[in-house]
Structure 1
């Protein structure tokens, strides 16, 4: 089996990280996996040890119609049995068109939960032999948009449970690195700085959190276009002593086990890789009941769910966990167990391979 994978992300997180996991796990004698990705992208280097070949191509997003021609030439050169499209930014549609024009079956991974107009969805999803939703929440969104149920299968995203595991092994370093006073409870939010991630909801909840736990410190990890606006809002509300922008980190496996509670008040979310990482590290979570989040933040088992955009409920959930070490421990242990059981890399690889085999078997009939 030969598969051409297409990933258009530039940075090695989210969907691109899942592609790296998949390429690593799919290696099997007789199989061949080839990656097409943007020039200069982080996934190119990460994939080289695991892919037969890596092709770096110009990818200009939704308006880059020329991507169809570039992909058609690549498909003719590589002659794959199947094309797997892993991301949007134009590669979903133009990749689907290119594969169809070359007569090659095509699979799309869908990682976001925002709905699409039904008329557009009816046309777009005809391009694909199968759609892999990374959460049941995304699958339900696709069905509501009119995509046939037999075309959509759920295969959860994964987390490296060997790298992300419980145990803060260097608390002194952690406190120095992030200027955390002795004994201060620490919250973390790991997300792109974009409106739908809900940073403002967390800031709205901070007065109630600080009233109950005045020594609380909050670390906001990530980068994105809203970063400066959030920084200004922190200053305007006088939260600078409690809330810090901690930037994009490559050592979250070292940081997360030292966190008391991870907060994720996203308004929309496909699943949330940061939540998978937090659960694998045994960290309890408070999150919004949106998209695929309830599949990893199981209310009353691995964390607490609140309505999206509800700052009061968010504060109540955070305060409940900060007020009970026993509850934090119970939820953290359950999160680790769930990550091992349902979100392992092996399970994700098996699920994707099964889809490939089903699509190819159907084509042979």
Structure 2
């Protein structure tokens, strides 16, 4: 089959355009530039459904959640209508179950991208991934977990996430960001960009904040993201008496302009498939302190573009933050090294071509 005549049906159920959904948008754009016809099944109110129009035909995925019984029927109908040569499931939330099963029943080759590093029930994982011809892991860490669960190793391929470094070349003036956040012009901005959920480590960061602000009164912790722990984290900041130094700034669509204004990114996650926010920070030249977990060490090279710590060890977390604040020249050097690392190893072209190689492989095998 000529690649320009290829029709791929993608399934992405994420509501917001960050993390995995943003990677899907980049892939759609890259595939469209190669002449691939993309069909995207996505919730009609999702950000990717609105953004994907130039690169894909969007099929509304009107579901209420991953257990919505309409999902397999909608996917069946979409495959019947569009007759794709290949199905690519990009998210969980039921898509990784139903897309593979429905494609298998319709005898359409399929591939799934796995972005998270949390272990699944091994037996269920082998059953689920058995319907797919290939499983794309976005990091070596995720591939190791899949192999540990005895998912067939010959099906696993690694295609890492990417970033567009040029997006970070037009930052807001720093004084504007500080003014918008209600902070003084001499403030030091320590950012965390993640959902407000337990495994991202916000609580531990709040717990070390008093020691940081006690030594550096101009330090402010900026939490970008939303999630179920918002109220609990606010209470924790009040209890630790650092509420005036911890700022909950919600989900921002302009992080590409904010990132370069940060002095440090701290990501004490205990689980992470790879960490797109780390790629973004590196692309913006921001030094990083992050947990030695999941795929994070594939982005953060200790002593080169950041510091790796045991995310459960508050003493290590505090020590790493203080080292960065005490040594601004070293921090700047790490920020520069991070930018070079991203440009060399996490390019858009490499991500698109990696997926294309998997497509060719699975189509030739079918």
Q: Among 132, 148, 152, which residue is 2:152 paired with?
A: 148
CA contact (8 A) 2:171 2:261 kept: yes
Instruction: Give 1:233 shift.
Output: 1.1
- Matched with 1:195 is 198
Matches within 5 A, 1:216-235: 216-235=219-238
Q: Which residue of 2 aligns with 1:42?
A: 47
Q: Deviations over 1:277-325 (max 9, x none)?
A: 1000000000001111111111111100001221111110011111111
**Selected match of 1:251 from 245, 254, 272:** 254
Q: What residue in structure 2 maps to residue 332 of structure 1?
A: 335
Query: Does the CA-based 8 Å contact 2:178-2:187 persist in structure 1?
Result: no
Please list, as runs of the form range in 1=range in 2, the aligned pairs for 1:81-92 lying within 5 A after superposition. 81-92=85-96
Determine helix, strand or coil for the equivalent of 1:186.
Answer: strand
1:8 equivalent to 2:22? Answer no
DSSP-derived class of the 1:84 partner = strand
Offset of residue 349 of structure 1: 0.7
Per the alignment, in what secondary structure is the counterpart of residue 188 of structure 1?
Answer: strand
- Alpha-carbon separation, structure 2, partners of 1:42 and 1:175: 28
Tell me how far 1:40 sits from its aligned partner: 1.4
**Aligned pairs, how many?**
361
User: Corresponding residue for 1:68?
Assistant: 72
Q: Is the 8 A contact 2:290 2:307 kept in 1?
A: yes
Mapped to 2, the partners of 1:6 and 1:273 lie a distance apart of: 20
Q: Residues 1-365 of structure 1 correspond to what in structure 2 (within 5 A)?
A: 1-28=6-33, 30-51=35-56, 53-165=57-169, 170-363=173-366
The CA distance in 1 between the partners of 2:353 and 2:241, in whole Å, is: 49
Supply the distance in 2 between the matched residues of 1:252 and 1:332 (Cα, whole angstroms).
Answer: 17
Task: Using the TM superposition, give the Cα deviation of residue 125 of structure 1 relative to its aligned residue in structure 2, in angstroms.
Answer: 1.2
1:205–1:69 CA distance, 2 compared to 1 (3 A) = same
Contact 2:210-2:241 at 8 Å conserved across structures: no
Task: Please state how far the C-alpha of 1:218 moved relative to its aligned partner.
Answer: 1.0
Separation of aligned partners in 2, 1:161 and 1:168: 12
1:211 deviates by 3.2
Runs of 4+ residues deviating >6 angstroms = none
Does structure 2 retain, via aligned residues, the 8 Å contact 1:289–1:308? yes
Q: How many Å apart are 1:82 and its aligned residue?
A: 0.4
State the secondary structure of the residue aligned to 1:217: strand
How far residue 77 of structure 1 moved from its aligned partner, in angstroms, is 1.1
- SS state at 2:58 partner: strand
Q: Secondary structure at the match of 1:3?
A: strand
Q: TM-score, normalised by structure 2?
A: 0.96
Offset of residue 29 of structure 1: 5.6
Instruction: Answer whether contact 1:61 1:91 (CA < 8 A) is retained.
Output: no
Structure 1 counterpart SS, 2:244: coil
Note the alpha carbon deviations across 1:209-232, whole angstroms, 9 max, x for none.
Answer: 223323211111111111111111
What CA distance in whole angstroms lies between the structure 1 residues aligned with 2:78 and 2:185?
A: 57
Q: Distance in 1 between matches of 2:64 and 2:106?
A: 21
Q: 1:30 to 1:214 in 2, by over 3 A?
A: closer
